[in-house]
Structure 1
Amino acid sequence: MPYSDLSVLIIDPNPSMRGNLHNMLTQASITKAEYAVNSASAIKLLAKKPFDIILCEYDLGSGTDGQDGQQLLEDLRHHKLIGLWTIFIMLTSEAVHSKVVSAAELSPSDYILKPFTVDVLSGRIARAIERRAIFLPTYQLLEKGKLREAVASCSEAELRHPRLAADFARLRAELHLELGEWREAETIYTHMLQARPMAWVHLGLARTLFEQQRHEEVAQSLSELLEQYPRFMAAYDLLAQNHEAMGQQLQAKKILEDAVAISPHMVRRLRRLGGMAFDTGDIGAAERAYKQVVTKAKYSEFRDPEDHVNLVRTLVKKGDGPQASGVLRDMERSLRSGPNVEACRAISAAMLHEMTGNDIAAASELQQAAAAVQGARGLSTQLKVGLVQSCLKNNLDDAASELMMKLVNEADSEVTMEQAVDVFEKAGRHDLAQGLGQQLKNQVQELLQEAAGKTESGELKGAVFMLRQALRRTPGNLPVLFASSEAVLRQLNMLGWEATLAEQLQNHLHTIRKIDPKHPKLESLRMQYEATQHKYGIAT
């Protein structure tokens, strides 16, 4: 790609440094440059258009959100505002570099130590562009969701490009993790650890152990890692998650508190700490965490009205009505109106009315919240389930049932039929639980019948789709798992090999093996799948 076609975003609060960088880029024949003075302005620009290269100063100043360049990079990747092919170069002092490079899980494309010359900058850009060209075929497979082909692409590239073999091995391990192939990822990380004992390799290995529920090994590994790299923030996050999985909520909260003390500006971590503190009954810590979240996110492009709901809930639990009312007023005043904000406003108002004993007003607000949720997008499952529970508590049976049915049927919902019924049972509404369960069972049965009809008429893809919907509602249902597996095998054999379908089938077999490893149909399905692989020349 000609340098004159490259687009560059310079992120630096210093006007003279922005000017110097622009001059250097011009000397390197790069003329398409735009500027951002802080993380907020960078996010706004990147939400509108992509850039080939981002040159980001590590020290972005305190600003409004307190983010540094590394935290901005994590936010950009977390919210998918930059692609895998975006070249992100961090500009740092030598002192900062020595602290950051060992503790960064999400590494930039390169670090450049200040001061530097135009030759250094152009050389690093040239190296990054060359690297991007080598990785591009794999990135394109990832963009298309072809994870299995991307794994194969990494393996081939490791042999063709030995200089980048470690980078391709890292990506291959991450893909195995995404595919749920923990042992394969563990093997890669173990080999890499012997050759290159980097912090992120230790972390990757710990992740594979966590997914295999080897929690004691995870705790020991991460504790040792943090002794060596006390600022490796991603290790704190995984260690807290590991303690939580072991039922050790207080230890998990302590780990998150330690992480926040070291790096106080990452909003996602503060949210987790607030939730953990609330669940463990530490209302003071929850209040402090959620207040920081609301304050730090106030000028962020990622502002979420649920943060206000969490803070109101905490203050109501504390019994501080005046402060909770102030948070509600701030939400009404400072957030743009829309279904999400209206739902969060009404939920918060209902909590305040309940606190003062005004049940009629609380029920009215909950009705408004239930109506707003119907048109909302991106609200958390936790908030929606909480709304269902509040409706049940206030005898809004129809609203609760309708909300839960919609939640289970949402394409990206994580709530299963069993979990939905359990919410009603725990609320003491066995009658509603039975009715809801029967409706959902009827839905699953209808989907199974419709899938069978499509199979008979030769609509194999339609049958697979219907069974996928049924399985999402009841993921541990063995008859549905077997029906879906057989439908996928039928489509693979009749219509040709599709990697994503093959991955779906592998996940089905994995789930069946966990539920009933000795089921008589399991071995037959496995052998049929291997025969299908051989048919298309797919290596097993």
Structure 2
Amino acid sequence: MNTREPPATTLKEVSWADKSYLIVDDFVGVRQLLRESLRNLGARNIDQASSGGEAMNLLGRIRYDVVLCDYNLGEGKNGQQVLEEARQRNLLNPSSVWMMVSAEKSTESVMGAAEHQPDAYLIKPITEGVLLTRLNRVWHKKQVFRPIDQAYGEKDYLRAARLCDEEIARGAQKEGGNVHRIELLRMKARLMEKSGQPIKAREAYDEVLAEREYQWARTGLAKIRMANGELEQARQLFQGVIAENRHYIDAYDQLALAYQQMGQLEEACSVLERAARLSPNSVPRQRHFGQVCLKLGNVGMAEKAFRKCIAIGEYSYLKTADAYLGLARVCGMKNEPKEALLLLGHAQREFPTDDVRLRVKITEGMVYHETGDYRRARKSGDELEEMLALSPQRPDTATCMEMATLLFVVGVKEAPVELLCYVIRNNHDSLLLQDEVQRIFDKARMGEEGVELIRASKKEAADLMNQGVLLWKTGKLDEAIAWMRTARATLPNNLRILFNAAQILVSAMQQNGYQIMLADEAIEVLLHVDRIHPGQQRFAQLMEQLALLAPDGTLPPADDAPAD
């Protein structure tokens, strides 16, 4: 962390006796040494785990104040994977301290752990004095950020940003200034981005950069430019950050995304290859690398990335079916259907959900088609049609488009048309997606028909939404709420319908008083929005309105939301 820290001697003494601790290390001798060091500081409540799995069991039952976790834990999860799962599952309090402990000094290991943001990274051997100094510093910082983190956990981003401002103002009155000012500005900038307010985020980053050149602030400005469509300016900023600090891994990931949005897949692939060499143990990065290589038709690099992703993801909470499906596609391109089918079977056993079962069947059809087994490819298409007929729900946008592409290829027409119209109705404001759908129609030799289908689907979605808004505007709140429930069931991923549904629920409570059932429904709708379209200004505004309506002024924690 590059921010200025106060000397340990200036910090208020912390009582370590009433805190709860977890020591995670696969060597009993190290656990005993750390336990004795903590006991000498006055600690009494100390638990121990000898493996990542044992640590996760304890973290799932107990909220620890301090976790000391070794990086290398032998067979099973390593310390990085324990930390990432604890963060993803929200098993840590906002004030909890996580200290990664390791004898490992390699760049690969340190960067891998640092990507998941432990509060400190300690290199063995650790003296009692070093442990006390780092604990003191980190603990005091966590207490400053505790109410901010709490509001963040509730997804009340605007309240969290105000708390940042209040803490900055409070610190300015202290003798010696506010030692956490830069970190508070960093948090405020992130909150403004999540609130859909890039101008205020940019102001916070500029305030930081006026004092010192922090690469994370430069990267933050570049992300804002990228989100605003200023792709070339963003690319230059990301490249500048990398030139200044070739180990700043987030800049590589963002630069690759910028290149992808510019349609320059070769450049994106090259950047991801460099990033994967620097920090190879990131499951999402290897997955992304493989997917870009697959789009380019670079079968060798895609295979290497997907195999690495599967290997490092074996014990990771971030493991998904994507690497197995991607590698199966690679095997299809290499005319190796036997291994492809084994991978698909493994994916279905590992991830036994309806969504994955559907994606496995799509990939199976593509593998058969790529290896020239058109009879089996058509059979997979027929089975997909049956699966669609049996389920009233439709999958996510990307899966719908993949399925439509396969069904057209194997000679089916009606089902893929329905899927693509469903995609348009759920995204009737997205010109980019409409263009992608039109390209699929064009490949299926349905160009003119596709234009008309897209137009009609957009109108259908707009009419459905407008009727609910009209009922609301004419004061028929109960009817408007009922109508929007039907609209949400029909088009569960239409952003404007979701936002209007939440707004009508909020309006009903503003007029008639807070009702827990309506509040819960509004929160459920908004959390769904944040999962499928994060960073929306209207999301932050509606969450704040809900918090103001709540009797205690706060919302329940968003336990189903992944950590940032």
Per the alignment, residue 524 of structure 1 pairs with none
Which residue type is aligned with residue 171 of structure 1? M
Per the alignment, residue 146 of structure 2 pairs with 136
* Larger displacement relative to structure 2 (211-220 or 484-493): 484-493
Given the alignment, which residue of 18, 32, 43 partners 1:19?
32
* Partner SS state of residue 247, structure 2: coil
Q: Aligned in 2, Cα 1:397/1:2: closer, same or farther, shift over 3 Å?
A: farther
Given the alignment, which residue of 336, 345, 351 partners 2:366?
351
Identity of aligned residues (%): 22
Aligned-residue offset at 1:328 = 3.4
Q: Aligned in 2, Cα 1:421/1:210: closer, same or farther, shift over 3 Å?
A: closer
Aligned-residue offset at 1:309 = 1.4
Distance in 2, matches of 1:272 and 1:302, equals 13
Aligned-residue offset at 1:74 = 5.0
Aligned-residue offset at 1:159 = 1.8
* Larger displacement relative to structure 2 (447-456 or 396-405): 396-405
Aligned-residue offset at 1:271 = 1.0
Distance in 1, matches of 2:105 and 2:493, equals 53
Deviations 1:460-500 (CA, angstroms, capped at 9, x unpaired): 8956994996998776x9xx999999979987986799999
Aligned-residue offset at 1:276 = 1.0
Aligned-residue offset at 1:304 = 2.0
Given the alignment, which residue of 361, 365, 378 partners 2:380?
365
Per the alignment, residue 545 of structure 2 pairs with none
Distance in 2, matches of 1:482 and 1:84, equals 29
Given the alignment, which residue of 72, 86, 89 partners 2:96?
86
Per the alignment, residue 221 of structure 2 pairs with 205
Per the alignment, residue 29 of structure 1 pairs with 43
* Larger displacement relative to structure 2 (452-461 or 296-305): 452-461
Q: Aligned in 2, Cα 1:346/1:87: closer, same or farther, shift over 3 Å?
A: same
* Partner SS state of residue 157, structure 1: helix
Q: Aligned in 2, Cα 1:258/1:451: closer, same or farther, shift over 3 Å?
A: same
Q: Aligned in 2, Cα 1:2/1:484: closer, same or farther, shift over 3 Å?
A: same
Deviations 1:325-360 (CA, angstroms, capped at 9, x unpaired): 44335446x526442443243233323332454444
* Partner SS state of residue 195, structure 1: coil
Paired residues of 2:426 and 2:491 also in contact (CA < 8 A) = no
Paired residues of 1:9 and 1:35 also in contact (CA < 8 A) = yes
Per the alignment, residue 306 of structure 2 pairs with 290
Q: Aligned in 2, Cα 1:76/1:395: closer, same or farther, shift over 3 Å?
A: farther
Per the alignment, residue 309 of structure 1 pairs with 325
Which residue type is aligned with residue 119 of structure 2? S
Given the alignment, which residue of 438, 444, 447 partners 2:456?
438
Paired residues of 1:415 and 1:473 also in contact (CA < 8 A) = no
Paired residues of 1:421 and 1:433 also in contact (CA < 8 A) = no
Aligned-residue offset at 1:96 = 6.0
Q: Aligned in 2, Cα 1:104/1:465: closer, same or farther, shift over 3 Å?
A: farther
Alignment length, in residue pairs?
498
Paired residues of 1:64 and 1:299 also in contact (CA < 8 A) = yes
- Confirm whether residue 182 of structure 1 aligns to residue 198 of structure 2: yes
- Confirm whether residue 8 of structure 1 aligns to residue 21 of structure 2: yes
Per the alignment, residue 167 of structure 2 pairs with 157
Given the alignment, which residue of 270, 280, 296 partners 1:280?
296
Aligned-residue offset at 1:390 = 0.9
Per the alignment, residue 52 of structure 1 pairs with 65
Unaligned runs of 5+ in 2: 1-13, 172-177, 540-564
Question: TM-score by structure 2 length?
Answer: 0.72
1:35-434 matched pairs, under 5 angstroms? 35-38=49-52, 42=55, 46=59, 50-58=63-71, 60=72, 69=80, 73=83, 76-77=86-87, 82=92, 84-92=94-102, 100=110, 104=114, 107-118=117-128, 120-122=130-132, 124-161=134-171, 162-331=178-347, 335=350, 337-369=352-384, 381-404=397-420, 418=434, 422=438, 425-426=441-442, 427-429=444-446, 431=449, 434=452
Distance in 1, matches of 2:324 and 2:108, equals 38
Which residue type is aligned with residue 192 of structure 2? H
Paired residues of 1:9 and 1:36 also in contact (CA < 8 A) = no
RMSD of equivalent CA atoms: 4.7
Greater RCO, 1 or 2 (C-alpha within 8 Å, sep 6+): 2
Distance in 1, matches of 2:470 and 2:143, equals 47
Paired residues of 1:173 and 1:188 also in contact (CA < 8 A) = yes
Q: Aligned in 2, Cα 1:131/1:379: closer, same or farther, shift over 3 Å?
A: farther
Aligned-residue offset at 1:240 = 1.3
Paired residues of 1:452 and 1:463 also in contact (CA < 8 A) = no
Distance in 2, matches of 1:72 and 1:235, equals 25
